[in-house]
Every structure is written in C-alpha cells, then in structure tokens.
Amino acid sequence: MVRAIKMSRNLYPTVPMQLAHSLNHFDDNPDLAAERAMCHWCRFQSWSSYQLFPVSIINMESDEIIDDNFEFIEKNIVRNGVELADEEFQAGCTCETSFDCLKAGCHCLDDIETSDVEDENYSINAYHVVGRRKGCLRGEMLSSRMPIYECNRQCGCPDDCPNKVVSRGRQLPLQIFRTVNRGLRSTEDIKQGQFVGNYVGELITSDEANWRRAQSTKSQKKDVYLFALDKFTDPNSSDERLRGEPYEIDGEYFAGPTRFINHSCDPNLRIFAVVRDLANKPFHDLCFFALREIPRFTELTFDYAGGVRGEDKDLDQKEEGMTRCLCGANNCRNWLW
C-alpha cells in the first residue's frame, strides 16, 4: 500500500510522498520486488512524462491515501471482446508541413463538417497555433461539445505539428490530495483551453459494463467510474462498431490521476471526445480541457452529469435513490443523477 507523509496543516502543501517511497524503494533489494511492483510512486517513475510533468500524492489527514486494489496506468487496458482496428487499417495524413494540417485537405480532419467554409485556407483545427495560448483549444471549440480531430504517429507531418496536442501527452504536473475523499489539482497555473489529461481505465464492452454495474453493491457508485464512448454512436453508421451499444471505460480499479477529479455543478474542466485515428473512432480518447484560467493548487472539477439542468431542485420530488450533490456551487442542482 502506498503511504503518504502525514503532514501538519502548517506545512507548505506541495511536499510530495516521495520521501516515504524513497525510504523503502531506493535500491534494488530483491526482497522488495513485489512491494515495488505495487508501489504507485514506482509506477509514476516509469511513465514517459515523469521527469518533466510528475504526479505526486499528499495527505494531511492520515498515513494512507490510495487503496491496495487500485493500480495507476498510463493508457487504456483493452479487455476481452474489444477489437481495435488492425494496424494496416490505421492511417495518417500525408501533409508535408504543419500548416497543411490546419485546414481542409488534411486526412485527419476529413470528418469535420466544412460545407460552410468558403476560404480553402481557413483553419478548421481545434487549437491556437501561436501566442500565449498556443496548443490550447480555440474559443469556439471550448464553448462547444464538438469532437476534436488530431494527427497521429502515422502522419507525414512533423512531430511539432500543432494538431498533435493530446498526442504529445500531458504537459502539466498533477497532485492527488485529500479533500472529503480525494481530489486532483495542478502545481502550476493552467491556461484556458489547456489539455489537462486523459481519462483512462479498462476498455470494455457494453455487456461487460452492464455486468459490472449489476455486481456493484450500488450501481450509481459504479457509474462514477464508467464512461461510455458514445460520442459517435449511430444506428446508421457504416462502421458496425458504432451501430450498437458503445464501448465503455472503467476507471475504478485501473486508471490515471484524472480518475480523482471530483464533480462540480460549476466545473473548471470539460471532457471532449478526441479522435487520433479514424480507424479506431469507436475507441476515441476522453480528454479534459480547462474551461477557464485555473490558478495552481485549485481543485480540478468537471460536471459528472455533463451540464444537464433540472427544472426543479427539490430533492423530495426526485426519484428515490438519486445521488445528492454536495459540491456547494452557487448553481448547484442538488443532485447528480
């Protein structure tokens, strides 16, 4: 089990639990191999983003913060029944310059509706390409629910293509900390429209997801961790994988740090569907972007209900068994679902 440093409230709140980890796992003692394999901090160190954008865990209330049966992962674990497209069907654009990836004609942007775009040089990509907000979502995208289309590793465009924001990975250090339960924040300021991270977990079929709900002692609690990849579900789709029930991501026992983002009816993040490979559109990424400027050490939140608004806020008139919302926002709906 990972144990965080128990700290006084007067201590500077960015002290990580790395010391507790280092005291036990600083060498290659074979007797500690099994313990290192289950150590969350050891897993963080194995991530490609660790050196520049580390994840830390702190706890001011007790010496224990993350359960034994939870495992941090960097990308989705594909479970039985989920079949990704064969590599031969995965394709990228043939753009020779980054500029070509901003407009119609880039293969990766083929699914973006451009019928009302008259200027062939008009940028239809999702991100700012210059200035302070370079790499951040443009205003019209941030205020929409539109999917984001990106270039990928199969593309002919350069590695610094402005259409590879999610593909380049998280560019922020994150910190899991103790709130009423657990929460997530960044130790750096976050710009409006900035990519914060992916939601990852076990990639499963809808049948498996429904079975897991049924096995859970409280299905509504399970739904906190299950995310349906239903952005492109369409009974008339030419892709048979999009015609049926959507696949889901279960982040209860295997997930990344974004699993600890709490709900708010006035959130500072929003989830967007991001397609980095048109051949695997049914398995698109779920990515968090900042809705506004977020000062460092501010708790990160998103709306679990996707912004659905109720006509009344009287819980007594709601169905029995609904989950009460305690976010405390001025516009709180008082219920989640």
- Closest to 154 (Cα-Cα) out of 107, 200, 105: 107
Share of the chain above pLDDT 90, in %: 48
Query: Tell me, what DSSP letter sits at residue 325?
Result: P
Residue 58 in 3-state DSSP?
coil
The catalytic residue positions are 199, 304
pLDDT tens digits, residue range 104-133?
A: 889 999 998 775 555 666 788 899 999 999
Q: Which pLDDT score, from 0 to 100, does residue 57 have? A: 82
Q: Which pLDDT score, from 0 to 100, does residue 248 have? A: 96
Contact 172, 135 (CB under 8 A): no
Q: Which pLDDT score, from 0 to 100, does residue 179 have? A: 83
Interstrand relation of 262-263 and 301-302 (parallel, antiparallel or unpaired): parallel
For 83-122, what is the HEC assignment? CCCCHHHCCCCCCCCHHHHHCCCCHHHCCCCCCCCCCCCC
Rounded Cα gap, residues 145 and 307, in angstroms: 11
Rounded Cα gap, residues 87 and 21, in angstroms: 39
User: How many CB atoms lie under 10 A from the CB of residue 142?
Assistant: 18
CA distances from 135 to 140, 290, 329 (A): 14, 12, 30
Q: Which pLDDT score, from 0 to 100, does residue 259 have? A: 94
pTM of the predicted protein model: 0.84
Contact 136, 172 (CB under 8 A): no
Rounded Cα gap, residues 221 and 228, in angstroms: 15
- Homologous superfamily of domain range 73-337: SET domain (2.170.270.10)
Q: Which pLDDT score, from 0 to 100, does residue 189 have? A: 98
Strand partners, 324: 335
Residue 146, Cβ density class (10 Å: 0-12 exposed, 13-18 middle, ≥19 buried): middle
Stated as kind and residue range, the H or E segment containing 212 is helix 206-215
Name the token pair of 64: 């224990």
Rounded Cα gap, residues 291 and 11, in angstroms: 30
Query: Tell me, what DSSP letter sits at residue 6?
Result: B
pLDDT tens digits, residue range 134-164?
A: 999 999 999 988 999 999 988 999 989 999 9
Name the token pair of 138: 């443009």
Strand partners, 154: none
**Residue ranges matching CATH 2.170.270.10 in the chain:** 73-337
Contact 211, 226 (CB under 8 A): no
Q: Which pLDDT score, from 0 to 100, does residue 62 have? A: 53
Q: Which pLDDT score, from 0 to 100, does residue 202 have? A: 97
Residues of the chain with pLDDT under 50: 1-18, 20, 22-23, 25, 309-313, 315, 317
Q: Which pLDDT score, from 0 to 100, does residue 161 have? A: 93
